[in-house]
Structure 1
């Protein structure tokens, strides 16, 4: 899977999707998705990178707890392994649901 394939999966949710962040004053109404390749977790063999692997963070932002939006993301990610965590961002007054995957 590539970042482009992942983008297509996320786009299938029907939610707005952007890599890393929206432009200043350009974010759509919540909910929306941001994703980024945070770091690599490469597979090595014989002292070299045998298989490059990106660790990608998919951030779903919602105004209130939104199980329907989470279900849409989780359905889109159903073909790959993911981990999930949740936090409330006081300064932004929104929830961040973080999905972590490797591609």
Structure 2
């Protein structure tokens, strides 16, 4: 069973640097890199209690340019999950943020 604790190991199979939440400023790697975090729970209830816990995980891929081959590496790492993907461009920072969402 996949848990929040082993998501980092799964993401590291992409070959990209990975951190939970953020990289400390003095340790931030060059792009591309991945940052992930639990953004909310989506629990299943039964008899008015939490019967099964689910964490909604957001995984952000940061790149300077559109890099389909890098996205493919992330998607391969996430191949055992159902994921959703969105993309945005930050004009101020001049970077792409590709957002993958999964539940564990």
What interval of TM-score do these two structures reach, taking the shorter chain for normalisation? over 0.9
Determine whether 1:62 maps to 2:87: no
C-alpha distance in structure 1 between counterparts of 2:89 and 2:60, whole Å: 12
Paired position in structure 2 for 1:35: 36
Paired position in structure 2 for 1:19: 20
C-alpha distance in structure 2 between counterparts of 1:24 and 1:74, whole Å: 27
* Structure 2 portions without partners, runs of 5+: none
Helix, strand or coil: the match of 2:93? coil
C-alpha distance in structure 2 between counterparts of 1:61 and 1:88, whole Å: 10
Say what the alpha-carbon RMSD is for the aligned residues. 0.8
* Structure 1 portions without partners, runs of 5+: none
Paired position in structure 1 for 2:87: 86
C-alpha distance in structure 2 between counterparts of 1:62 and 1:68, whole Å: 11
Measured after TM superposition, the shift of residue 75 of structure 1 is: 0.4
Structure 1 length normalisation: TM-score?
Answer: 0.96
Structure 2 length normalisation: TM-score?
Answer: 0.95
Paired position in structure 2 for 1:45: 46
Moved over 4 A (4+): none
